[in-house]
Structure 1
Amino acid sequence: MTSPTSTPRSQDSDSFLGAVDLTGLDGLFSAEEKQTALKVRGLVDELIRPNIARWYEEAVFPTEIIPELGKLGVLGMHLDGYGCAGRSAVEYGLAAQELEAGDSGLRTFVSVQGSLAMSAIHKHGSEEQKNQWLPAMAAGEAIGCFGLTEPTAGSDPASMLTTARQEPGGDWVLNGSKRWIGLASLADVAIIWAQTEDHGNGRGVRGFVVPTDTPGFRAEVINAKLSMRASVQCEIHLEDVRLPESAMLPADSAVGLKGPFQCLNEARYGIIWGVMGAARDSFNTVLDYTLGRTQFGHRLAGFQLTQAKLADMAVAINKGYLLAHQIGRTKDGVLPGTVTPAMISTGKLDNCRVAIEISREAREMLGGNGITLEHSPLRHANNLESVRTYEGTDEVHQLTIGRTLTGIGAFTPTA
């Protein structure tokens, strides 16, 4: 039997993506883009991989990494100005997949901070709001969260019960609850979406910039989780939270649900890339494991069934990267056309499906050892159950695609 080399086979490739790159993916990216990915990979290798098993087991989110992420420039990295890096959509995607190769909870932090909270302020906020919050958030000196989902309104945000009432003096008073809100207990600022009284002025749902030290704001950590354990999700309670008139996101683009949906599509875009990192890490783990483990006198990697599974996994990962690349280049304006909701839903739906199946398959190929925290695939699979659910379930994305294909909206049941 040939002894494994000192360099794992999964990394023994000219491609920065490793042995999984069967289709020349490396050539799709510039040297600068690959350098961005490798810088993020270096942080993951140094700070995340040695500790993630313990953090996951103990349900700890490592707040000490936040300043390091700020120094790396990945917080709001796709936004321009106000201390943000202003990088391309593809570079952000490459960063996201490196982060999620470490753990979905790490990529989720960057997504909630940058694609949700910071994007809401950047897209819809006043200059005062942008200058107050974005530079500190980009540096990791302030943390944000994004409050849309409610205990009784998950996939149907139009039925939210949280209200914002404007009083004669101009102040807004918020009441209600939000659930599954990432980072809320750590956050310095929350973007809260609420129903406003409609006086014929088209307000409807509006967003508010809420400092979390405002009286009446309370965040409770949801502890009993089987997924995303190295991450923080909370329930927010708003009891007569009084805000100045200037707390509302003022832009016309923030009127109604189009405001939060624009931010959700930014987060969904990051997921399209991110889950490929989890899939690639699961593949790398099982490739190296099967090359190094002997059963029945042969390396596991030499069995036909093992190679068939590895081949299917690698092909699926290549297709996932190609899909993410197509959407990213379109988003950057390099390819013709504009990114549509159906395009985002296609990427989020299929890449999540692919990633969760690959991580499950990899766990199975590890045998009994696969249920331990020594190996990443089952941790990735558990995390991906959450990633597949948040920012739109499979069904929401299927109906978004179906609406585009048929011209018929089927989100509400027919009689």
Structure 2
Amino acid sequence: MSTDPIDFYLLEALLDDEDRQLLHAVRDFGDKQVAPIINEHWSRATFPFELLPAIRALGIAGTPYQGYGCPGRSFLMDGLIAMELATADPSIATFCGVHGGLAMGSIYLCGSEEQKQRWLPRMATLELIGAFGLTEPGVGSGASGGLQTTARRDGDSWVLNGEKKWIGNATFADLTVIWARDEADGQVKGFVVEKETPGFSTSKIEDKMALRVVQNAHITLTDARVPEENRLANANTFRDTAKVLLMTRAGVAWMAVGCARGAYRQALDYAGQRQQFGQPIASFQLVQDLLVKMLANTTASATLCTRLSQLQDAGLAYDEHASLAKMFCTVRMRETVGYARELLGGNGILLEHNVGRFVADAEAIYSYEGTREMNTLIVGRAITGQSAFV
């Protein structure tokens, strides 16, 4: 067969040989190192720390950032890597997205030169692991206007009080970027809080049904004292936070494509092996109909994300571009993993057949980095000129 049944429109052809080689290395990592162990970790809700040396060796942390020991590659390459990781396992893609996108991105976009030099090189090599604390127990979508965690200047330091929820990597991260509202001017500011800071504590969120490998934390800040040198110098309003979210929301759209692709790939393999009535079920019309629906969804989503990444590389991407992709791709992802589950019948709910893990993990990707409704309102405001936010 000359047509690639996964990369149907040959998006890899947009890459040069060096980038294509790296993408294949990421794929090999997923197939040979993630796939054999991930179901056990998903079942036990544990993180595979044994994979960190291999992730470090890939050199993909902070893919699109220039300098500071970062790869300095394109946003397109960054997106394709996120997709490839999620095709193997969405939790591993999320770990990399939180560390390399949200945490490193906050420092890269909002930090001073000294702060970038201090943290980014060691984060690029995973010597330091990062997390990103924005969402709160009572504040999710309304973070721009209702953030309840506070920061109070006290001499040459800041005192932080509040709570954060759903913070990926935070149970073991060395650095967590905490976004808090300055009591003096009411503006949102960013602070790099180190793991051993007194008054900073984390507890693992248990009993998740999705992204069980990701170690999400509930963070409590009780008079946590952070030095002024750890306040992100160029994070002075929520607009600065939004710069980070614009970049990472595009990455989540790519992860949604990968999650859908992962389910589709598993379903395609299963259809070729599963025998009914003396022949593989891939030869049945209804099965081919499901497979083509899945392929159409993943192909449409991947091509949309490709154009979004090209806009990012050209400096032409805005919030509404990322929001449209995140909204569309997560809806198509949810549909696609459902088709894969349908194709496998009862086997679709067994971890050993892999599809069930993608079905469950899709639910988290569908919600984080902005719900479908919130992203719809961002796009709606852009195309009508009217804000429908409450």
Q: TM-score, normalised by structure 2?
A: 0.96
What is the letter of the counterpart of residue 226 of structure 1? M
Which residue in the other structure is 1:211 paired with?
Answer: 194
Alignment check: 8 A CA contact 1:67 1:141 kept:
no
Determine if the alignment matches structure 1 residue 159 to structure 2 residue 135: no
- SS of the residue corresponding to residue 193 of structure 1 reads strand
Query: Quick one: distance in 2 between partners of 1:138 and 1:215?
Result: 26
Deviation at 1:28, TM superposition (A): 3.2
Which residue in the other structure is 2:347 paired with?
Answer: 369
Match of 1:33 among 15, 19, 42: 19
Deviation at 1:96, TM superposition (A): 0.7
Structure 1, residues 300-333: CA drift from partner, whole Å, max 9, x if none?
1111111111112112211111101111111112
Alignment check: 8 A CA contact 1:36 1:91 kept:
no
What is the letter of the counterpart of residue 347 of structure 2? N
What is the letter of the counterpart of residue 277 of structure 1? G
Match of 2:277 among 296, 299, 323: 296
Query: Quick one: distance in 2 between partners of 1:150 and 1:244?
Result: 23
Query: Quick one: distance in 1 between partners of 2:349 and 2:30?
Result: 22
Query: Quick one: distance in 1 between partners of 2:57 and 2:2?
Result: 28
Match of 1:386 among 356, 361, 364: 364
Structure 1, residues 198-255: CA drift from partner, whole Å, max 9, x if none?
35xxx6110011112110000110011111111110110000011222221112xx22
Deviation at 1:392, TM superposition (A): 0.3
Match of 2:313 among 326, 332, 338: 332
Matches within 5 A, 1:12-411: 18-157=4-143, 158-167=145-154, 169-199=155-185, 204-251=187-234, 254-333=235-314, 338-411=316-389
Deviation at 1:408, TM superposition (A): 1.4
Deviation at 1:124, TM superposition (A): 1.0
Deviation at 1:34, TM superposition (A): 2.0
- Give the ranges of 4+ consecutive aligned residues of structure 1 lying more than 4 Å apart after TM superposition: none
- SS of the residue corresponding to residue 395 of structure 1 reads helix
Alignment check: 8 A CA contact 2:170 2:176 kept:
yes
Query: Quick one: distance in 1 between partners of 2:16 and 2:306?
Result: 12
Deviation at 1:108, TM superposition (A): 0.5
Query: Quick one: distance in 1 between partners of 2:308 and 2:66?
Result: 20
What is the letter of the counterpart of residue 148 of structure 2? L
- SS of the residue corresponding to residue 145 of structure 1 reads strand
What is the letter of the counterpart of residue 190 of structure 2? G
Alignment check: 8 A CA contact 1:356 1:385 kept:
yes
Which residue in the other structure is 1:3 paired with?
Answer: none
5+ residue gaps in structure 1?
1-12
Alignment check: 8 A CA contact 1:105 1:228 kept:
yes
Alignment check: 8 A CA contact 1:182 1:232 kept:
yes
From the CA coordinates, give the structure whose radius of gyration is larger: 1
Query: Quick one: distance in 2 between partners of 1:217 and 1:23?
Result: 48
Moved more, 219-228 or 24-33: 24-33
- Identity, % of aligned positions: 40
Q: TM-score, normalised by structure 1?
A: 0.90
Moved more, 22-31 or 216-225: 22-31
Query: Quick one: distance in 2 between partners of 1:114 and 1:130?
Result: 13
RMSD: 1.5
Alignment check: 8 A CA contact 1:112 1:145 kept:
yes
Query: Quick one: distance in 1 between partners of 2:295 and 2:277?
Result: 26
